[in-house]
Protein backbone atom coordinates (compact mmCIF):
# COMPACT_ATOMS: atom_id res chain seq x y z
CA UNK A 1 0.00 0.00 0.00
CA UNK A 2 1.27 3.47 -0.89
CA UNK A 3 -0.06 6.98 -0.54
CA UNK A 4 -2.30 8.08 -3.37
CA UNK A 5 -0.22 11.15 -4.21
CA UNK A 6 2.91 8.98 -4.51
CA UNK A 7 1.08 6.64 -6.90
CA UNK A 8 0.08 9.60 -9.09
CA UNK A 9 3.62 10.99 -9.06
CA UNK A 10 5.16 7.61 -9.89
CA UNK A 11 2.69 7.23 -12.75
CA UNK A 12 3.86 10.53 -14.24
CA UNK A 13 0.55 12.35 -13.76
CA UNK A 14 2.09 15.23 -11.80
CA UNK A 15 4.65 16.01 -9.14
CA UNK A 16 3.73 14.82 -5.66
CA UNK A 17 2.72 18.32 -4.58
CA UNK A 18 0.61 18.86 -7.70
CA UNK A 19 -0.95 15.43 -7.17
CA UNK A 20 -1.99 16.51 -3.68
CA UNK A 21 -3.83 19.47 -5.22
CA UNK A 22 -5.64 17.14 -7.62
CA UNK A 23 -6.82 15.05 -4.67
CA UNK A 24 -7.98 18.04 -2.60
CA UNK A 25 -9.84 19.42 -5.64
CA UNK A 26 -11.82 16.19 -5.87
CA UNK A 27 -10.47 15.20 -9.27
CA UNK A 28 -9.14 11.78 -8.23
CA UNK A 29 -11.17 8.60 -7.90
CA UNK A 30 -10.32 5.26 -6.33
CA UNK A 31 -12.45 2.26 -7.32
CA UNK A 32 -15.27 4.53 -8.48
CA UNK A 33 -15.33 6.83 -5.45
CA UNK A 34 -13.97 10.36 -5.30
CA UNK A 35 -11.17 10.73 -2.75
CA UNK A 36 -10.17 14.07 -1.22
CA UNK A 37 -8.19 12.90 1.82
CA UNK A 38 -4.40 13.18 1.41
CA UNK A 39 -3.63 10.32 3.78
CA UNK A 40 -5.43 7.80 1.58
CA UNK A 41 -3.42 4.68 0.78
CA UNK A 42 -4.02 2.48 -2.24
CA UNK A 43 -2.91 -0.85 -3.63
CA UNK A 44 -0.97 0.18 -6.76
CA UNK A 45 -1.75 -3.15 -8.42
CA UNK A 46 -5.38 -3.83 -7.53
CA UNK A 47 -6.88 -0.33 -7.25
CA UNK A 48 -8.56 1.40 -10.20
CA UNK A 49 -7.46 5.03 -10.00
CA UNK A 50 -8.75 7.85 -12.19
CA UNK A 51 -8.00 11.53 -12.70
CA UNK A 52 -10.80 13.57 -14.24
CA UNK A 53 -12.46 10.28 -15.13
CA UNK A 54 -9.47 8.88 -17.02
CA UNK A 55 -7.82 5.75 -15.64
CA UNK A 56 -4.22 6.14 -14.54
CA UNK A 57 -1.97 3.21 -15.29
CA UNK A 58 1.26 2.43 -13.53
CA UNK A 59 4.38 3.36 -15.44
CA UNK A 60 7.13 0.83 -15.89
CA UNK A 61 10.23 2.09 -14.13
CA UNK A 62 13.46 2.06 -16.10
CA UNK A 63 16.99 2.06 -14.66
CA UNK A 64 19.72 2.29 -17.28
CA UNK A 65 23.50 2.67 -17.17
CA UNK A 66 25.17 4.56 -20.04
CA UNK A 67 28.83 5.04 -20.88
CA UNK A 68 28.56 8.70 -21.87
CA UNK A 69 31.11 9.72 -24.50
CA UNK A 70 32.84 13.09 -24.61
CA UNK A 71 30.85 15.68 -26.56
CA UNK A 72 27.35 14.76 -25.35
CA UNK A 73 25.22 16.90 -23.04
CA UNK A 74 23.25 15.48 -20.11
CA UNK A 75 20.01 17.18 -21.11
CA UNK A 76 16.85 16.37 -23.04
CA UNK A 77 17.49 18.89 -25.82
CA UNK A 78 19.84 21.75 -26.66
CA UNK A 79 18.97 25.09 -28.27
CA UNK A 80 22.26 25.03 -30.18
CA UNK A 81 21.55 21.63 -31.67
CA UNK A 82 24.41 19.91 -29.88
CA UNK A 83 24.26 16.18 -29.25
CA UNK A 84 22.70 14.91 -26.01
CA UNK A 85 22.76 11.56 -24.24
CA UNK A 86 19.21 10.97 -25.46
CA UNK A 87 20.57 10.63 -28.98
CA UNK A 88 22.12 7.38 -27.71
CA UNK A 89 18.95 5.93 -26.15
CA UNK A 90 15.78 4.29 -27.52
CA UNK A 91 13.32 6.84 -28.94
CA UNK A 92 10.50 5.71 -26.65
CA UNK A 93 12.45 6.55 -23.49
CA UNK A 94 11.01 10.04 -23.52
CA UNK A 95 10.25 10.14 -19.79
CA UNK A 96 13.75 9.35 -18.56
CA UNK A 97 16.13 11.87 -17.01
CA UNK A 98 19.83 11.75 -16.05
CA UNK A 99 20.71 10.92 -12.45
CA UNK A 100 23.20 13.70 -11.75
CA UNK A 101 25.40 15.13 -14.46
CA UNK A 102 28.63 14.74 -16.37
CA UNK A 103 29.81 17.84 -18.21
CA UNK A 104 30.14 17.83 -21.99
CA UNK A 105 33.90 17.25 -21.90
CA UNK A 106 33.69 14.31 -19.48
CA UNK A 107 32.80 10.69 -20.09
CA UNK A 108 31.88 7.59 -18.18
CA UNK A 109 29.14 6.04 -16.09
CA UNK A 110 25.78 7.82 -16.08
CA UNK A 111 22.45 6.49 -14.83
CA UNK A 112 19.12 7.41 -16.41
CA UNK A 113 15.70 6.66 -14.92
CA UNK A 114 12.10 7.78 -14.53
CA UNK A 115 12.16 7.07 -10.78
CA UNK A 116 12.48 10.31 -8.84
CA UNK A 117 13.12 8.62 -5.49
CA UNK A 118 15.97 6.59 -6.98
CA UNK A 119 17.51 9.75 -8.43
CA UNK A 120 17.25 11.62 -5.12
CA UNK A 121 18.92 8.83 -3.15
CA UNK A 122 21.84 8.71 -5.57
CA UNK A 123 22.44 12.45 -5.85
CA UNK A 124 21.67 14.03 -2.46
CA UNK A 125 24.78 14.22 -0.23
CA UNK A 126 22.89 13.02 2.84
CA UNK A 127 22.62 9.53 1.35
CA UNK A 128 26.40 9.27 0.95
CA UNK A 129 26.57 7.49 -2.42
CA UNK A 130 30.19 7.75 -3.60
CA UNK A 131 31.31 8.32 -7.19
CA UNK A 132 34.75 7.33 -8.43
CA UNK A 133 36.61 9.20 -11.17
CA UNK A 134 39.88 8.82 -13.04
CA UNK A 135 41.46 12.09 -14.16
CA UNK A 136 44.34 12.62 -16.56
CA UNK A 137 45.91 15.91 -15.55
CA UNK A 138 48.67 18.00 -17.05
CA UNK A 139 51.99 17.96 -15.19
CA UNK A 140 53.43 15.74 -12.49
CA UNK A 141 51.20 15.34 -9.42
CA UNK A 142 52.44 13.82 -6.18
CA UNK A 143 50.49 11.87 -3.57
CA UNK A 144 51.22 14.55 -0.98
CA UNK A 145 49.46 17.11 -3.20
CA UNK A 146 46.26 15.13 -3.69
CA UNK A 147 46.17 14.26 0.02
CA UNK A 148 45.03 17.88 0.46
CA UNK A 149 41.76 16.95 -1.23
CA UNK A 150 40.69 14.65 1.60
CA UNK A 151 41.12 17.50 4.09
CA UNK A 152 39.08 19.84 1.92
CA UNK A 153 40.23 22.81 -0.16
CA UNK A 154 38.60 26.15 -0.93
CA UNK A 155 37.65 27.18 -4.46
CA UNK A 156 35.61 30.32 -5.21
CA UNK A 157 34.43 30.52 -1.62
CA UNK A 158 33.26 26.89 -1.52
CA UNK A 159 34.86 23.94 0.27
CA UNK A 160 35.53 20.99 -2.03
CA UNK A 161 36.46 17.60 -0.61
CA UNK A 162 37.33 14.12 -1.81
CA UNK A 163 36.73 11.02 0.28
CA UNK A 164 39.81 9.35 -1.23
CA UNK A 165 42.55 10.42 -3.66
CA UNK A 166 45.27 8.25 -5.14
CA UNK A 167 47.94 8.89 -7.77
CA UNK A 168 47.88 5.91 -10.14
CA UNK A 169 50.81 7.04 -12.31
CA UNK A 170 52.83 10.19 -12.94
CA UNK A 171 55.60 11.50 -15.15
CA UNK A 172 56.90 14.95 -16.03
CA UNK A 173 54.06 15.70 -18.47
CA UNK A 174 50.94 13.89 -17.21
CA UNK A 175 49.51 12.17 -14.17
CA UNK A 176 46.56 9.84 -13.65
CA UNK A 177 44.70 10.32 -10.39
CA UNK A 178 41.73 8.39 -8.99
CA UNK A 179 39.28 10.32 -6.83
CA UNK A 180 36.24 9.25 -4.83
CA UNK A 181 33.64 11.94 -4.15
CA UNK A 182 30.43 12.10 -2.13
CA UNK A 183 29.27 15.70 -2.55
CA UNK A 184 28.62 15.89 -6.30
CA UNK A 185 29.24 19.62 -6.65
CA UNK A 186 29.41 21.25 -10.08
CA UNK A 187 32.64 20.40 -11.96
CA UNK A 188 34.13 19.35 -8.64
CA UNK A 189 37.06 17.26 -9.93
CA UNK A 190 38.23 19.95 -12.34
CA UNK A 191 37.96 22.60 -9.64
CA UNK A 192 39.94 20.50 -7.16
CA UNK A 193 42.87 20.34 -9.57
CA UNK A 194 42.58 24.05 -10.34
CA UNK A 195 43.49 24.63 -6.70
CA UNK A 196 46.74 22.71 -7.31
CA UNK A 197 47.39 24.55 -10.56
CA UNK A 198 46.84 21.51 -12.77
CA UNK A 199 44.48 21.27 -15.74
CA UNK A 200 42.32 18.17 -16.20
CA UNK A 201 42.71 16.99 -19.79
CA UNK A 202 40.51 13.91 -19.57
CA UNK A 203 37.93 12.90 -16.99
CA UNK A 204 36.04 9.63 -16.73
CA UNK A 205 33.59 8.44 -14.08
CA UNK A 206 34.26 4.77 -13.48
CA UNK A 207 31.96 3.88 -10.59
CA UNK A 208 28.77 4.99 -8.80
CA UNK A 209 28.13 3.28 -5.48
CA UNK A 210 28.82 -0.40 -6.04
CA UNK A 211 28.29 -0.26 -9.82
CA UNK A 212 31.38 -0.10 -12.02
CA UNK A 213 31.59 1.09 -15.61
CA UNK A 214 33.36 -2.13 -16.50
CA UNK A 215 33.52 -3.10 -20.17
CA UNK A 216 30.49 -1.11 -21.31
CA UNK A 217 31.60 0.52 -24.60
CA UNK A 218 31.37 4.32 -25.06
CA UNK A 219 27.92 5.33 -26.30
CA UNK A 220 26.30 2.06 -25.23
CA UNK A 221 23.76 1.43 -22.46
CA UNK A 222 22.45 -1.49 -20.43
CA UNK A 223 19.61 -2.07 -17.97
CA UNK A 224 20.58 -2.32 -14.31
CA UNK A 225 19.73 -5.62 -12.68
CA UNK A 226 17.38 -5.83 -9.71
CA UNK A 227 20.28 -6.71 -7.41
CA UNK A 228 22.27 -3.71 -8.67
CA UNK A 229 19.34 -1.38 -7.99
CA UNK A 230 18.97 -2.76 -4.46
CA UNK A 231 22.69 -2.36 -3.81
CA UNK A 232 22.54 1.30 -4.86
CA UNK A 233 19.60 2.00 -2.56
CA UNK A 234 21.10 0.14 0.39
CA UNK A 235 22.01 2.57 3.20
CA UNK A 236 25.72 3.35 3.44
CA UNK A 237 27.63 1.89 6.34
Q: H-type helices in 106-142, by residue range?
A: 116-123
Residue 126 near residue 200, CB atoms below 8 Å:
no
Residue 72 near residue 175, CB atoms below 8 Å:
no
Is residue 103 among the annotated active site residues? Answer: yes
Separation of alpha carbons 231 and 236, rounded Å:
10
Selecting among 43, 92, 103, 117, the annotated active-site residue is: 103
Torsion angle of alpha carbons 19, 20, 25, 29, nearest 10°?
Answer: 70
Map residue 213 onto helix, strand or coil: coil
Which active-site residues does the annotation give?
103
Amino acid sequence: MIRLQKFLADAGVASRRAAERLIVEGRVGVNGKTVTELGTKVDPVAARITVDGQQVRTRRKVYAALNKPVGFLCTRSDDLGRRTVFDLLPEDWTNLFPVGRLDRDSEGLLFLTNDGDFSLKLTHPRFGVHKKYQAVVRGKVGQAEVNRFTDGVEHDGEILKAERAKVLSANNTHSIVELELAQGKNREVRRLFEVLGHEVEHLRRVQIGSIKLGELPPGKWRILTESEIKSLLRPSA
